[in-house]
């Protein structure tokens, strides 16, 4: 059966001050369509059903996740005692799924992306699931690039091997790290590179086999956790073992060295909403090129992201800035320096201003 695992463990400091420790990015309504996690859930449930939808999040977010997704069976929310990157997350979910459904095919999806065409999204996921269900191997969905983005990794397309429901399935030739602008431009023009979306499909058995082969320490830890599942020591063992699992990503730890990998190029509108300026990818701009949320009066202000999460925001004479106001914290930063926000949040911690973290 087809399952979906939604990864909702991120801290999301890049969306400070809207995001906080207890209100990470996936709980924000960045795209104006409800919290991102809720939107992801709603997007995938028509394909797999709520009973086969799973959410992996940090333990402190389990209660809020259940509250946000009341249709989801409570046991389908997996609370990590500690964040150990995506390979551990994917492996743990596969082990839990596999114990319940030995023939499970699993889609692995980030909770905090925005997708413009839900039908196309589900059609692609269904095709990917169908392909790995029959052929095995690990499959990643690659987004046809629309701009020479230097903030993403890329996927190099290999030869086309199959067509499922009209969608081409290619061999995945290799992963490419975030490129320089010139190279990114060539990638977009060349047509055989895709953005690495971080969305995957596999049979859980195949994923666990690759983990056992490439990441034996992870496999061993997952075995210990699985052995305790359903016993009185379940929580204790999870708390003990999970924080010691090797910290690596699905891309680096599993996909790059996997024996058989596929990719399906997709072209539905997609954004990982990676930082404040990316709001311009998911919300319409006004005639002056400003993206606004909330009550904003923008005088002689252009190309800016203006967000009032409660407070009224009044700006004069800004060009290409991000202004985000919440009742207890305000950020003003040039859009092209928005990647510094994460570091600034660290500085706030150093200053002891924990109440706004």
- Count of CB atoms situated within 10 Å of the CB of 54: 23
Is residue 311 near a second copy by the rule CB under 8 A? yes
Handedness of CA 307, 308, 312, 313 (dihedral sign): negative
Is residue 289 near a second copy by the rule CB under 8 A? no
Backbone angles phi, psi at 126, to 5 degrees: -65, -40
Q: Please identify which residue in 241, 283, 285, 314 interacts with a second copy, judged by CB under 8 A.
A: 314
Q: Which is nearer to a second copy, 130 or 341 (CB)?
A: 341
Is residue 254 near a second copy by the rule CB under 8 A? no
The 8-class DSSP code of residue 55 comes to: E
Q: Which is nearer to a second copy, 53 or 290 (CB)?
A: 290
Name the minimum Å distance from CB 171 to a second copy. Answer: 44
Q: Which is nearer to a second copy, 238 or 333 (CB)?
A: 333
State whether residue 57 is helix, strand or coil.
Answer: strand
User: In this chain, which stretch among 26-34, 158-166, 225-233, 294-302 interacts with a second copy, using CB under 8 A?
Assistant: 294-302
The H-or-E segment that residue 194 falls in is: strand 193-203
How many angstroms separate the CA atoms of 289 and 278, rounded? Answer: 13
Size (the chain), residues: 357
Contacts with a second copy, 2-31, as mask; x by CB under 8 A: ---------------x--------------
User: In this chain, which stretch among 124-132, 249-257, 264-272, 343-351 interacts with a second copy, using CB under 8 A?
Assistant: 343-351
C-beta separation of 180 from 150 below 8 A? yes
How many residues sit close enough to a second copy to count as binding (CB under 8 A)?
A: 34
Name the minimum Å distance from CB 301 to a second copy. Answer: 9
Is residue 277 near a second copy by the rule CB under 8 A? no
Pairing of strands 261-266, 167-176: antiparallel
Is residue 217 near a second copy by the rule CB under 8 A? no
**What burial class does residue 352 get, using C-beta atoms within 10 Å of its C-beta: 0-12 exposed, 13-18 middle, 19+ buried?**
exposed
C-beta separation of 203 from 2 below 8 A? no
Name the minimum Å distance from CB 350 to a second copy. Answer: 10
How many angstroms separate the CA atoms of 239 and 92, rounded? Answer: 13
Is residue 232 near a second copy by the rule CB under 8 A? no
Q: Please identify which residue in 286, 334, 342, 349 interacts with a second copy, judged by CB under 8 A.
A: 334
Residues that bind a second copy (CB under 8 A): 17, 295, 297, 299, 308, 310-318, 321, 323, 325-334, 337, 340, 344, 347-348, 351, 353, 356
């Amino acid at each position: 059966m087809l399952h979906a695992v939604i990864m909702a463990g991120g801290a999301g400091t890049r969306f400070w001050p809207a995001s906080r420790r207890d209100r990470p990015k996936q709980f924000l309504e960045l795209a104006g369509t409800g919290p991102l996690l809720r939107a992801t859930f709603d997007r995938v449930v028509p394909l797999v059903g709520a009973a086969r939808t799973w959410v992996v999040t940090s333990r402190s977010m389990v209660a809020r996740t259940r509250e946000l997704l009341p249709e989801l069976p409570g046991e389908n929310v997996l609370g990590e005692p500690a964040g150990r990157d995506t390979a551990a997350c994917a492996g743990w979910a596969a082990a839990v799924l596999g114990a319940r459904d030995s023939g499970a095919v699993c889609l692995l999806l980030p909770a905090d992306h925005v997708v413009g065409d839900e039908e196309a999204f589900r059609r692609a996921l269904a095709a990917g699931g169908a392909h790995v269900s029959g052929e095995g191997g690990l499959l990643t969905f690659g987004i046809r690039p629309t701009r020479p983005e230097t903030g993403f990794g890329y996927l190099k397309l290999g030869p086309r091997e199959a067509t499922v429901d009209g969608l081409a399935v290619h061999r995945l030739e290799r992963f490419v790290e975030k490129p320089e602008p010139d190279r990114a431009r060539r990638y977009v023009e060349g047509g055989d590179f895709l953005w690495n979306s971080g969305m995957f499909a596999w049979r859980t058995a195949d994923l666990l086999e690759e983990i056992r082969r490439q990441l034996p320490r992870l496999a061993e830890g997952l075995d210990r956790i699985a052995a305790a599942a359903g016993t009185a020591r379940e929580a204790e063992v999870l708390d003990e073992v999970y924080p010691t699992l090797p910290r690596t990503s699905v891309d680096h730890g599993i996909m790059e060295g996997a024996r058989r990998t596929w990719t399906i190029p997709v072209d539905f509108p997609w954004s990982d909403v990676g930082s404040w300026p990316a709001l311009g990818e998911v919300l319409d701009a006004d005639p002056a090129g400003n993206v606004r949320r909330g009550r904003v009066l923008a005088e002689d202000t252009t190309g800016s992201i203006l967000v009032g999460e409660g407070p009224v925001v009044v700006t004069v004479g800004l060009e290409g800035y991000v202004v985000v106001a919440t009742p207890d914290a305000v950020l003003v930063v040039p859009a092209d320096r928005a990647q510094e926000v994460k570091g600034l949040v660290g500085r706030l911690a150093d200053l002891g201003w924990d109440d706004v973290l």
